[in-house]
Amino acid sequence: MNECFGKYYVRNGEFLPSDSFEETNVYEGESVYEVIRVMNGIPLFFNDHFSRLETSARLKGRKMLLDLDETCRQIVRIVRTNRKRDVNVKIVFNYTGDVSTSLIYCIKPLFPTEAQYRNGVRGILFNAMRNDPESKVINQKLRKDIYFSLLHARAYEAVLVNNEQRITEGSRSNIFFIKNGTLFTAPDSYVLLGITRKYVLEICRSESIPVSFECVNVDNLGAYDGAFMTGTSPMVLPFNSLGEFAFDASLPLVARLRRLYVYEAERSISRFIKDFPGSFGG
C-alpha cells in the first residue's frame, strides 16, 4: 500500500501527483527521516524535528538536502494543497549511490481515539534493538517484522526488548513506567531521543515529578503500576497491557502529563507562526 496520503507530494522541490510516488525512493539505499504532527495546519515542534533531522544526517555522514526555511515552506504548502489540517507529514532524505532525493508527503495518521486515551491500548514485547538509536534511519526489515506482529496480536505498539531482557523503547515511541509516583524510562543512550519524550521530561522537571533513567527488566513488569508511550501520533498514551502484564490505564498522572503536553504543543504553534510568518504567503 502506498504510504503517501493525499493527492500530492514533494520530490526535490517539485509538487507531483501522488500516483507517481515511488516507495523505492524511501526504502532503497539509505534514508534519514522525520515524522511531524500537523495540528490546525501547523507543524508541531518544527525546530526540534529539523534539528534531529540534521543530527541523523550528520551521524550518517550525509549532507542535508533542504534548509530550515525551505523545509518549512514545503510542509505548509503540501498540507494546504492536500487540504489536511490534522495529519502527519514525513520528511525523507534518501541516498542511493550518487543520487540524493528529498521527499515531503502526508502519511495517514494513527491518532488514538478518546476511548484509547481513556482505556489504554495493548502492547506487545518484541525482541529487537536498534543498532544506532541516536539517528532516525529507516530499517525496512524491522519495520515489516513489527508490522505483521502487531497485526497478528491486534496491538497498537511493539515495545523493544534487548538481549539482556531490558526494555529500551517502542517501535515508534518512547516508553515510560510508573511506580509509586515515579517515572522510569531508559537512559538517553539507549533510545532515539523523541521530541514528545523531551517535552514530557521538561514537564516532569517543572512539576517536580521524579524520573529514574533506567531500563526496566521484563521479569519485573508486574511490579509497576502503569505504563505509557510518548510519540508524535499518540502524544501521551497509556497501555492497558504489555504482553501478559496488565496495567491501570486510568492513573491520574498519565492524564495530567497528556494535558500539560497538549498545552506545550499549542504553545509550539504560536512559536511557529511567530518564527515563520513568510511560510503562509502564496
What residue segments make up the domains of the chain, in order of their start? 5-108, 114-267
Per-residue pLDDT at 265: 97
Q: Given a cut of 60, is residue 282 above it in pLDDT? A: no
Cβ neighbors of 165 (< 8 A, separation 6 or more) are 217, 218, 219
Q: How would residue 276 be classed by pLDDT, with cut points 50, 70 and 90?
A: confident
What average pLDDT does range 8-34 have in this prediction? 94
**Hey, what's the cell of 275?**
518564527
- Residue reference for cell 524511501: 26
Q: Are strands 174-179 and 30-39 parallel, antiparallel or unpaired?
A: unpaired
Is the CATH number 3.60.21.10 carried by domain 5-108? no
Closest CA to 121 of 227, 210, 19, 218: 227
CA-to-CA distance for 118 and 240, rounded, in angstroms? 10
Express each pLDDT in 143-158 by its tens digit.
889 989 999 999 999 9
CB 226 within 8 A of CB 254: yes
CATH architecture of 114-267: Alpha-Beta Barrel (3.20)
- What is the number of alpha carbons within 13 Å of residue 94 lying toward its C-beta? 20
Express each pLDDT in 176-204 by its tens digit.
999 999 999 999 999 999 999 999 999 99
Per-residue pLDDT at 129: 79
